Amino acid sequence: MPDAGPVVGSRSPFGERLAAAVGQRGPLCVGVDPHPSLLASWGLTDDAEGLRRFSATVLTAVADVAAALKPQVALYERHGSAGIAVLEELLAAAREANLLTIADAKRGDIGSTMAAYAQAWLGEESPLAADAVTLSPYLGFESLRPALDLAAETGRGVFVLALTSNPEGASVQHVGGDASVARRIVDAAAAENRRYAGAERGHGSVGLVVGATVGDAVQRLGLDLAAVGGPLLAPGLGAQGATPAALRETFGAAYGQVLGTSSRDILAGGPDAGGVRARAERTLAGLAG
């Protein structure tokens, strides 16, 4: 009998915490992507102070509408250490507000150095620790082992790229026919989740990224997403052209595991928190309706 996963202090496994948040608020993740163009349209400076005000406004706007917040790490990194400090502040403030965080860092490396990335984003002592982190499996799914193990140990989660939302992704992910690269990632995540009892309810902590824009690729590649046993993060809504209706068609029986995520389309509602919130509510209504 698989166990339910470790409990760290009062923290239960990420998959269970995410399922509870989705049950309470609905299946929306709001991306915090402080692009220079968005900062400008909000009347903010393209520096750490602009980032700080942008991040605080988004958090205030969606704290009780979103199930999770997904800061795009590169858009903080481009400001160097001052930007990273703002990201740390945002992660801490989201924790205070009881809002789950997914650091969109897309990390992936050989095992020995993967351990350091895992410590940075999932470690108990790290100021950058989020509730989950996005990972790239291009060095092989098993190269992610240090992050998979540390996430399980600390009650955190991961989202591994499987079918990405960008058109170029197909040139790698669709290769291999019945044994496509994407299918191998899906099967590996399912096997990982099967170690925990929560996966029977789709509450595993090893999630996948499957773009909202992938159309019929899930069917064509024969991916059994319902069997993954964990959450499916679906970026591409809004700015990349996908709609909630298309999402239902793409995911079919696995739609209940989907966490739809949108950044620019929601953030365009700023600079007022009310405008951001209204767009988040509209997206959520589409996802939940």
* Nearest alpha-carbon partner for 47 in 80, 24, 19, 14: 80
Per-residue x/- mask for ligand OMP, residues 26 to 65, rule CB under 6 A?
-----x-x--------------------------------
Name 92's Cβ contacts closer than 8 Å, sequence gap at least 6. Answer: 127
Which segment (123-131, 180-188, 262-270, 278-286) binds ligand OMP by CB under 6 A? 262-270
Fill in the per-residue mask, 150 to 169: x = in contact with ligand OMP (CB under 6 A), - = not in contact. Answer: --------------xx----
The answer to whether 134 contacts ligand OMP (rule: CB under 6 A) is yes
Whole-number minimum distance, CB 238 to ligand OMP, in Å?
Answer: 5
* CA atoms of 230 and 256, how far apart (whole Å): 10
Binding positions for ligand OMP, 167-206, rule CB under 6 A:
none
- Considering only 14-22, 89-97, 122-130, 260-268, which stretch makes contact with ligand OMP by CB under 6 A? 260-268
From residue 111, give the alpha-carbon distance in Å to each of 124, 147, 148, 214: 19, 9, 11, 30
57 HSE (CA, 13 A, CB side): 24
- Between residues 31 and 229, which has the closer beta carbon with respect to ligand OMP? 31
Query: Is 70 among the residues known to form the active site?
Result: no
User: Residue 131, interface with ligand OMP (CB under 6 A)?
Assistant: no
- Provide Rg for the chain, Cα atoms: 18
Q: State whether residue 214 is helix, strand or coil.
A: coil
Question: Which of 239, 246, 273, 278: binder of ligand OMP (CB under 6 A)?
Answer: 239
Give the Å distances, CA to CA, from 118 to 58, 85, 101, 140. 26, 19, 15, 16
In the set 15, 157, 202, 235, which binds ligand OMP (CB under 6 A)?
235
